[in-house]
Chains A and B, each alone.
Chain A
């Protein structure tokens, strides 16, 4: 194990420096600096196409940046894989794939299992436990195409839970789910945070940012603002992030921000 001295920003759950990402020469993220301390529940907020998903994918090594670097607890992602859980956007997979809810959750254990080993009784028990945590124990053997959107999202969350990570990245886990599921998900995420885990969540709903989260990143290709929600959630910052789409922002959301500012 390298000494503490050789680590880069070991006290930060996530440290992103000078990150620039481009798809076919069009920059999607520009000179992004980001620090997230451990034990917070952080929202990544910004308009459509702001690069939120790309930021997560780059942190997880799924997209190669043109410039910049990323560390998690002082080390690059490659070295920290086992400490990271990931919930991709629900729409990123085909839910007509022939498999069951339990099977999808078990996939979260493949990384730990390694090559040539098959999931056995222990893995099954772990996956079942995770399904129970998200309230889906009765749907374990259900074909995933027969689950509602909210149920599919819970299955994805359960798959991340079995990863037993220290940092979780979730991409719009509350988009298109019913109110019950949203409440269940938030409760689970809060419980994880209270256990000292770090949660980094792409969130699409400005209205609920302040009730759900304690840390916040406002993103629109560049970082507009970051820090504790109370400091970042101002009318001024929201305007900067959403620019021309300002009409889309709920009036109350803005007004509330104004009152604080």
Chain B
């Protein structure tokens, strides 16, 4: 394991993956909060035609021109969609969906054209579809690092402006913030993050890298600051995890492993995050339901007693079950523990009967009173 971590190639891949995780976590947070999760998808799919054009222009698999091409077509697609949705009735998600498909289709056509041309250096161009982490060089890290630091610097510098534009763009415009410019800046930065991730996870999975850490982080935090930092940490951890795992299990693709790792964090977060997780929601509902059930059973007993003009009237459990159409045993046991009902015999029948205690009568009257007030 230690020897593994000292391996030069693995170090390079892990560092690249960590940077990718950080930049996509930070920028993804803003995309998710602005309800533009699809933006990452559009940007990355729209990078494909740029990759191919970069290849054609450079006449070979030259990283510089390929990345520039990816950035240009990705950003172009996203800005086009921003424009279109601003000036027409097209909904943002519809716009982004169309942009994604059209640009990706063009990309696939170009890709097949290049492959059909028999260019000797075409090999590996399709690796941009799903990424090929092992191909990353130390020198590439400088480009990725530079982009990451620039993006983080911009986010730090315009922190309060980005926050306000994401929360309340109308108010932001009213105090004179250039809302459109800030939105364009965020979009271009996400395009940069996509470029950072192209070699690592490829255009198809890059969207998940932008969204997943942010969605997971949102579950655990109450402040934007916390969300962004946590998303960066989740992205980074997922990146390093994927890199190391793929080195351990020789031949396993790094990019998909990274995506699987961050997706696992999303799943766990959606389930168990305190306050927001599904599990908590289920527990809360279950408790509430138990409470409501108890209240209903109590008022049923009260109603039966009132009907018989006998506060100590023993109701048969079977008739309470029949009234509610479900077993009320558990609810009655809970009520008994709270001292609101007690079991009773009603000779000559031998089945279980229940009687309200004075406390139970008071509670039932309180519940009915509250319901009456709400109804009026």
Residues of A within 8 A of B (CB): 24, 57, 60-62, 78, 81, 84, 86, 88, 92-94, 97-100, 103-104, 107, 110-111, 113, 115-116, 118-119, 143, 159, 163
What does the 1/0 interface line of B138-157 toward A look like (CB < 8 Å)? 00000000000000000001
Most buried by A among B160, B161, B221: B160
Q: Roughly how many angstroms separate A116 CA and B154 CA in the complex, as a whole number?
A: 10
Which B residues between 169 and 201 are near A, CB-CB below 8 angstroms? 170-171, 173-177
Q: In the assembled complex, how far is the CB of residue B44 from the closest CB belonging to chain A, in whole angstroms?
A: 25
Residues of A within 8 A of B164 (CB): 107, 110
Given contacts A60-B174, A62-B173, A88-B171, contact A98 B223 (CB under 8 A): yes
A88 touches B160 (CB 8 A): no
Residues of A within 8 A of B221 (CB): 98
Residues of B within 8 A of A100 (CB): 222-223
| Number of A-B residue pairs with CB-CB distance less than 8 Å in the complex they form | 72
Which B residues between 1 and 44 are near A, CB-CB below 8 angstroms? 33, 35
Which chain B residue has the least Cβ–Cβ distance from A24?
A: B89
Residues of B within 8 A of A81 (CB): 174-176
Q: B227 in the interface, Cβ–Cβ < 8 Å?
A: yes
Residues of A within 8 A of B175 (CB): 81, 86, 110-111, 163
Q: B224 in the interface, Cβ–Cβ < 8 Å?
A: yes
Residues of A within 8 A of B168 (CB): 88, 92-93, 107
Residues of A within 8 A of B224 (CB): 97-99
Which chain A residue has the least Cβ–Cβ distance from B175?
A: A111
A81-B175, A86-B171, A88-B170 given. 4 additional CB < 8 A pairs? A98-B218, A115-B161, A119-B160, A143-B222
Residues of A within 8 A of B161 (CB): 110, 115
Q: Roughly how many angstroms separate A118 CA and B157 CA in the complex, as a whole number?
A: 9
Q: Which 6 A-B pairs have the closest CB atoms?
A: A111-B175, A86-B174, A143-B222, A60-B174, A93-B168, A97-B167
Most buried by A among B157, B168, B226: B168
Which chain B residue has the least Cβ–Cβ distance from A160?
A: B171
Residues of B within 8 A of A111 (CB): 175-176
Residues of A within 8 A of B171 (CB): 86, 88, 107, 159
Which chain A residue has the least Cβ–Cβ distance from B88?
A: A24
Can you list 15 contacts pairing A with B, beta carbon distance less than 8 Å?
A62-B173, A78-B176, A81-B175, A86-B174, A94-B33, A94-B167, A97-B224, A98-B33, A98-B223, A104-B167, A110-B175, A110-B177, A111-B176, A113-B160, A163-B175
Q: B166 in the interface, Cβ–Cβ < 8 Å?
A: yes
Q: In the assembled complex, how far is the CB of residue A25 from the closest CB belonging to chain B, in whole angstroms?
A: 12
Residues of A within 8 A of B223 (CB): 98-100, 103
Q: In the assembled complex, how far is the CB of residue B320 from the closest CB belonging to chain A, in whole angstroms?
A: 37
- Contact-size category for B: 20 to 34
A62 touches B174 (CB 8 A): yes
Q: In the assembled complex, how far is the CB of residue A64 from the closest CB belonging to chain B, in whole angstroms?
A: 12
A92 touches B170 (CB 8 A): yes
Q: Roughly how many angstroms separate A110 CA and B160 CA in the complex, as a whole number?
A: 8
A116 touches B176 (CB 8 A): no
Q: In the assembled complex, how far is the CB of residue B347 from the closest CB belonging to chain A, in whole angstroms?
A: 54
Q: In the assembled complex, how far is the CB of residue B64 from the closest CB belonging to chain A, in whole angstroms?
A: 32
Residues of B within 8 A of A86 (CB): 171, 174-175
Which chain B residue has the least Cβ–Cβ distance from A56?
A: B174
A99 touches B167 (CB 8 A): yes
Which chain A residue has the least Cβ–Cβ distance from B87?
A: A24
B167 touches A107 (CB 8 A): yes
Residues of B within 8 A of A57 (CB): 170
Q: Roughly how many angstroms separate A159 CA and B171 CA in the complex, as a whole number?
A: 10
Q: Roughly how many angstroms separate A84 CA and B159 CA in the complex, as a whole number?
A: 24
Q: In the assembled complex, how far is the CB of residue B373 from the closest CB belonging to chain A, in whole angstroms?
A: 15
Which chain B residue has the least Cβ–Cβ distance from A95?
A: B167
Which chain B residue has the least Cβ–Cβ distance from A88?
A: B170
Q: Roughly how many angstroms separate A143 CA and B221 CA in the complex, as a whole number?
A: 10
Most buried by B among A60, A78, A110: A110
Q: Roughly how many angstroms separate A152 CA and B152 CA in the complex, as a whole number?
A: 32
A61 touches B227 (CB 8 A): no
Q: In the assembled complex, how far is the CB of residue A147 from the closest CB belonging to chain B, in whole angstroms?
A: 13
Q: In the assembled complex, how far is the CB of residue B143 from the closest CB belonging to chain A, in whole angstroms?
A: 27
Q: In the assembled complex, how far is the CB of residue A173 from the closest CB belonging to chain B, in whole angstroms?
A: 14
Q: Roughly how many angstroms separate A84 CA and B176 CA in the complex, as a whole number?
A: 11
Q: Roughly how many angstroms separate A162 CA and B226 CA in the complex, as a whole number?
A: 25
Which chain A residue has the least Cβ–Cβ distance from B29?
A: A98
Q: In the assembled complex, how far is the CB of residue A199 from the closest CB belonging to chain B, in whole angstroms?
A: 16
Q: In the assembled complex, how far is the CB of residue B159 from the closest CB belonging to chain A, in whole angstroms?
A: 8
Which chain B residue has the least Cβ–Cβ distance from A78?
A: B176
Q: Roughly how many angstroms separate A100 CA and B166 CA in the complex, as a whole number?
A: 15
Q: In the assembled complex, how far is the CB of residue A142 from the closest CB belonging to chain B, in whole angstroms?
A: 9
Residues of B within 8 A of A78 (CB): 176
Q: Roughly how many angstroms separate A61 CA and B160 CA in the complex, as a whole number?
A: 22
Which B residues between 37 and 91 are near A, CB-CB below 8 angstroms? 89
Q: Roughly how many angstroms separate A81 CA and B176 CA in the complex, as a whole number?
A: 7
Residues of B within 8 A of A107 (CB): 160, 163-164, 167-168, 171
B226 touches A98 (CB 8 A): yes
Which chain B residue has the least Cβ–Cβ distance from A60?
A: B174
Most buried by A among B173, B226, B227: B173
B166 touches A97 (CB 8 A): yes
Which B residues between 83 and 125 are near A, CB-CB below 8 angstroms? 89
Q: Roughly how many angstroms separate A207 CA and B163 CA in the complex, as a whole number?
A: 39
B226 touches A61 (CB 8 A): no
What does the 1/0 interface line of B361-376 toward A look like (CB < 8 Å)? 0000000000000000
